[in-house]
């Protein structure tokens, strides 16, 4: 049924034409569709060194960008929907889906044949391949209910655990950098490719949504090694514990009891954690290692030899980060990035830290107790401040022809 309501490639082209200029489709699996439309509306984008390996399929049981191995760059864009009704939301989500389809395939909407119109693509990736671009959509609780108001008739489809992260003891949140009706996570191996997608989602939202915030992050492509955060410690070692299909089912993918559209989805939690680098850099190696409960260079937990050796919490300092993380006996799937936002003009200190991003099937059980425990007792609190927050329900994966949120908006 959803399939029938789905957006066909032909619809897709019609929508595109209505956006203002001709649509160009790259040599990326859409050539067959190309033949069905006017040649004047089409041009083949030559995206240079495009290779299959550089593309991450957008369609499947789950959205890409969740258990996809981390790419080097991430942009998060948060929107508030300003559209008046559900039909306008649907138009926006269709346009976004279309753009995501093109971008993840390494194609571009191109200039088109009418120079008197704005180009249908901003153009900065004309020469660039897909670069493992993934686009992951999530919905905030305010899309369903805002100040008690059921804005788009979606309140009955609120997923089980979707709520803003409750206020934590040491929060120092900037509301302008937190939350949102929709959050789009864009990741790629090329920052320009990632930004291009974020920027065009913003462009396509004109009249239907406004940007709340836009945040960029990076990790270092260490060739399969666990990346290090800006404290110099490996970050994400515990992801290895659930790195199997069964592990993802038990840790990441939402299921039983969830509304249909949320099955195979996941909850994305976001915390922008500013790291007080100047304070950290003046603390001793022993203090730093005690704070995590791991050795800095090897990443092994105290009392162990290697990074992936099983952690024995009894060997770790009471308030150490890793010991507390173990205390709740819960797993989450981490997908964090570092950020550097220049210098804080008030203090002259570096404004940098961690964009903590985690995915889990049940944040109430898996994440919130962990977060609360850490914010009360974690030795890291001396060196870090949580400055922004968000929680988003990411729907299950798309079939080709479907648009993001279709099962939520149309069923």
Q: Which of residues 219-278 bind its own copies (CB under 8 A)?
A: 219-223, 225, 227-233, 277-278
DSSP 8-state code for residue 168: P
| Position 99 contacts its own copies (CB under 8 A) | no
Beta strands in 65-126 (DSSP E): 73-81
Region from 5-13, 284-292, 310-318, 361-369 binding its own copies, contact rule CB under 8 A: 284-292
Cα-to-chain-centroid distance, residue 204: 19
Least Cβ distance, residue 335 to its own copies (angstroms): 17
Element (H, E) at 340: strand 337-343
The residue (of 125 and 142) whose beta carbon lies closer to its own copies is 125
User: Which of positions 41-70 make contact with its own copies (CB under 8 A)?
Assistant: 48-49
- DSSP character string of 59-76: BSSS-TTSSSPP-SEEEE
Which residue stretch of 31-39, 164-172, 216-224, 377-385 sits at the interface with its own copies (rule: CB under 8 A)?
216-224
- Alpha-carbon gap, residue 175 to 113, rounded angstroms: 43
Looking up tokens 């956006």 gives 19
Interacting residues with its own copies between 149 and 208 (CB under 8 A): 176, 190-193, 195, 199, 202-203
Say how many residues make up the chain.
Answer: 411
Cβ proximity to its own copies, 213 vs 270, nearer residue:
213
- Name which of 178 and 375 has its Cβ closer to its own copies: 178
Smallest Cα–Cα separation from 395: which of 387, 379, 406? 406
Is residue 266 a contact partner of residue 360, using CB atoms and an 8 Å limit? yes
Cβ proximity to its own copies: between 171 and 307 the closer is 307
Q: Is 181 or 258 the residue whose CB approaches its own copies more closely? A: 181
Interface of this chain with its own copies, residues 367 to 406, rule: CB under 8 A: none
Contact between 126 and its own copies by CB under 8 A: the answer reads yes
Specify whether the CB–CB gap between 48 and 181 falls below 8 A. Answer: no
Do residues 24 and 16 lie in contact, with contact meaning Cβ atoms separated by under 8 Å?
no
Q: How far is Cα of residue 345 from the mean position of the Cα atoms in its chain?
A: 29
> With respect to its own copies, which residue has the nearer C-beta, 63 or 226?
226
State in angstroms the smallest separation of the CB of 194 from its own copies: 9
Span 291-350, contacts to its own copies by CB under 8 A? 296-297, 338, 340-343, 345, 348, 350
């Amino acid at each position: 049924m959803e399939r029938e309501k789905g957006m066909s490639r032909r619809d897709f082209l019609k929508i595109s034409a209505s956006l203002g200029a001709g649509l160009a489709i790259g040599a990326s699996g859409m050539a067959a569709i190309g033949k069905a439309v006017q040649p004047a509306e089409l041009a083949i984008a030559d995206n240079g060194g495009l290779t299959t390996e550089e593309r991450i399929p957008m369609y499947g049981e789950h959205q890409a960008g969740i258990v996809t191995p981390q790419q080097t760059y991430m942009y998060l864009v948060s929107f508030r929907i300003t559209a008046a009704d559900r039909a306008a939301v649907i138009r926006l989500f269709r346009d976004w889906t279309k753009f995501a389809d093109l971008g993840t395939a390494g194609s571009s909407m191109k200039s088109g044949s009418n120079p008197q119109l704005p180009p249908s693509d901003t153009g900065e990736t004309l020469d660039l391949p897909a670069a493992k671009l993934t686009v992951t959509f999530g919905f905030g609780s305010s899309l369903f209910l805002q100040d008690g108001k059921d804005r788009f008739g979606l309140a009955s489809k609120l997923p089980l655990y979707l709520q803003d992260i409750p206020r934590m003891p040491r929060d120092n949140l900037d509301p302008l950098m937190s939350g949102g009706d929709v959050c789009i996570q864009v990741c790629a191996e090329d920052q320009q490719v990632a930004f291009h997608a974020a920027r065009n989602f913003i462009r396509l939202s004109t009249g239907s949504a406004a940007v709340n915030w836009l945040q960029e992050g990076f990790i270092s492509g260490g060739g399969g090694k666990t990346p290090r955060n800006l404290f110099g410690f490996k970050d994400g070692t515990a992801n290895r514990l659930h790195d199997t299909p069964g592990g993802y089912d038990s840790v990441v993918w939402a299921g039983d009891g969830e509304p249909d559209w949320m099955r195979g989805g996941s909850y994305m939690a976001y915390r922008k954690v500013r790291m007080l680098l100047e304070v950290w850099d003046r603390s001793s190696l022993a203090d730093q290692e005690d704070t995590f409960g791991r050795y800095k260079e090897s990443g092994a937990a105290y009392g162990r030899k290697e990074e992936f050796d099983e952690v024995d919490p009894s060997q770790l300092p009471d308030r150490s980060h890793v010991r507390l993380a173990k205390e709740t006996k819960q797993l989450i799937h981490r997908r964090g990035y570092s950020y550097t936002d220049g210098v804080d003009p008030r203090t002259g200190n570096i404004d940098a830290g961690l964009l903590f991003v985690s995915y889990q099937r049940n944040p109430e059980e898996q994440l919130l107790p962990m977060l609360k425990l850490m914010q009360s007792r974690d030795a890291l609190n001396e060196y870090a401040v949580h400055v922004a927050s968000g929680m988003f329900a990411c729907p299950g994966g798309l079939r080709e022809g479907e648009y993001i949120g279709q099962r939520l908006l149309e069923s």
